[in-house]
């Protein structure tokens, strides 16, 4: 299935959530339809207008939210008071602010992590889940991102590993965070560009030919916030999400996974599906990680269409 045609948002704003943060939100689609919450990845990636196109605008009330420090949220690229618990609380504040009773959660990569964490904290507020490129923030997954992806993309892995000067390489993530959080743009922007280039190079079954362009605020937010969450194991206890499945096991779910997703390898989605017997796991045979790869985006649109019946009780 193809993406739905482009649409404009019809309502948007910033919601103060405490700690000096304001999160940006926007609504589009059917004003009286069931709500779908787009939970973006990263952490730090933010939303884009194209993400509205996964959803039938005649059926869904489509809510896009930039998490703390991301996208149009303010202050940009901030890691202060930025934890998983904070983001869950932000969603609840926004839900109450907009008068939403329940919503479908649609999240990929880190978005799948946060959707699961929110759902387990507030199961009665969830209609169901569509998840892509599952990431559970285990120590093994973090280590894979930092050192393992280069087994499949050795050129990118080599560039990433050698960006740090030799005397900093043993520090690993600590050195990256020091550079990414440095106040001088001459230090934090090159580090952000190297971090983002590494992730971008590993995101697709067929990598893009062109070199990544300059890194602006969005790239800095992605690199800085991603490293922040990795350093704190996603602000989750070991095994927390798989151990917490009893809270949401009764809810409908579709898991869409690229067979050749190097950033979030399929064994994690498989483990989640085994812990969620009612979930449907759709393994896409010709896709990597990026949601906009044609086979993956088609499978995501199909998944959202398929879950309509469960949401409406049809």
Domain count, the chain: 2
Is residue 109 part of the annotated active site? The answer reads yes
Percent of the chain with pLDDT over 70: 97
Is residue 138 part of the annotated active site? The answer reads no
Do the domain assignments include residue 4?
no
- Same-domain pairing of 250 and 133: yes
Do the domain assignments include residue 1?
no
- Options 109, 112, 138, 218, the catalytic residue: 109
- Same-domain pairing of 186 and 284: no
Domain that holds residue 158: 139-234
pLDDT at 209 over 70: no
- Same-domain pairing of 131 and 55: yes
The pLDDT, as a whole number, for residue 218 is 76
The pLDDT, as a whole number, for residue 310 is 85
Please state the rounded mean pLDDT for residues 20-43: 98
- Same-domain pairing of 110 and 89: yes
- Same-domain pairing of 16 and 128: yes
pLDDT in tens, 78-133: 999 999 999 999 999 999 999 999 999 999 999 999 999 999 999 999 999 999 99
The phi-psi region of residue 137 (left if phi > 0; otherwise alpha if psi is between -120 and 50; otherwise beta) is left
Do the domain assignments include residue 298?
yes
- Same-domain pairing of 151 and 208: yes
- Same-domain pairing of 65 and 30: yes
State the average pLDDT for the chain.
95
Distance CA 187, CA 181 (A): 9
Please state the rounded mean pLDDT for residues 284-294: 97
Do the domain assignments include residue 5?
no
pLDDT at 215 over 70: no
Distance CA 239, CA 298 (A): 31
Is residue 188 part of the annotated active site? The answer reads no
What is the pLDDT confidence band of residue 312, given thresholds at 50, 70 and 90?
Answer: confident
* The domain boundary residue, chosen from 210, 234, 258: 234
* The domain boundary residue, chosen from 178, 210, 234: 234
* Three state DSSP letters for the chain: CCCCCCCCCCEEEEEEEECCEEEEEEEEECCCCCEEEEECCCCCCCCCHHHHHHCCCCCCEEEEEECCCCCCCECCCCCCCCCHHHHHHHHHHHHHHHCCCCEEEEEECHHHHHHHHHHHHCHHHEEEEEEECCCCCCHHHHHHHHHHHHHCCHHHHHHHHHHCCHHHHHHCHHHHHHHHCCCCHHHHHHHHHHHHHHHHHCCCCCCCCCCCCCCCHHHHHHHHHHHHHHHCHHHCCCCHHHHCHHHCCCCCEEEEEECCCCCCCHHHHHHHHHCCCCCEEEEECCCCCCCCCHHHHHHHHHHHHHHHHHHHCC
The pLDDT, as a whole number, for residue 1 is 84
- Same-domain pairing of 88 and 45: yes
Please tell me the least confidently modeled range out of 46-55, 150-159, 219-228, 305-314.
305-314
* CATH code of the domain in which 88 resides: 3.40.50.1820
| Residue 306 CB burial class (10 angstroms; 0-12, 13-18, ≥19) | middle
Nearest C-alpha neighbor of 24 from the set 38, 35, 5, 7: 38
- Options 40, 73, 112, 261, the catalytic residue: 261
Please tell me the least confidently modeled range out of 171-185, 202-216, 249-263.
202-216
The pLDDT, as a whole number, for residue 210 is 60
- Same-domain pairing of 153 and 229: yes
* The domain boundary residue, chosen from 234, 268, 302: 234
């Amino acid at each position: 299935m193809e993406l739905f045609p482009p649409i404009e948002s019809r309502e948007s704003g910033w919601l103060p959530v405490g700690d000096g943060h304001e999160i940006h939100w926007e609504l589009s689609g059917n004003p009286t339809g069931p709500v779908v919450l787009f939970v973006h990845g990263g952490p730090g990636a933010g939303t884009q207008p194209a993400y509205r196109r996964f959803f039938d605008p005649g059926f869904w009330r489509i809510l896009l939210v930039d998490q703390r420090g991301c996208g149009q949220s303010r202050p940009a690229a901030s890691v202060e008071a930025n934890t998983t618990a904070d983001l869950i609380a932000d969603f609840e504040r926004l839900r109450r602010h907009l008068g939403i009773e329940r919503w479908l959660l649609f999240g990929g990569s880190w978005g799948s992590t946060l959707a699961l964490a929110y759902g387990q904290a507030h199961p009665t507020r969830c209609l169901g889940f569509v998840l892509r490129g599952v990431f559970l923030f285990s120590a093994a997954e973090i280590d894979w991102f930092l050192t393992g992806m280069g087994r499949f993309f050795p050129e990118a892995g080599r560039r990433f590993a050698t960006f740090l000067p030799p005397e900093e390489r043993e520090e690993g993530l600590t050195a990256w965070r020091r550079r990414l959080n440095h106040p001088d743009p001459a230090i934090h922007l090159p580090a952000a560009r190297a971090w983002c280039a590494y992730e971008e190079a590993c995101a697709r079954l067929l990598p893009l030919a062109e070199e990544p362009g300059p890194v602006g605020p969005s790239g800095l937010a992605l690199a800085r916030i991603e490293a922040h969450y990795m350093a704190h194991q996603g602000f989750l206890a070991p095994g927390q999400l798989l151990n917490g499945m009893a809270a949401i096991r009764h809810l409908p779910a579709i898991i869409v996974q690229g067979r050749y997703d190097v950033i979030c390898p399929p064994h994690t989605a498989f483990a989640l599906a085994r812990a969620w017997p009612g979930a449907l796991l759709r393994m896409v045979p010709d896709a990597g990680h990026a949601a906009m790869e044609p086979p993956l985006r088609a499978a995501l649109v199909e998944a959202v269409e398929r879950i309509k019946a469960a949401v409406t009780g049809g």
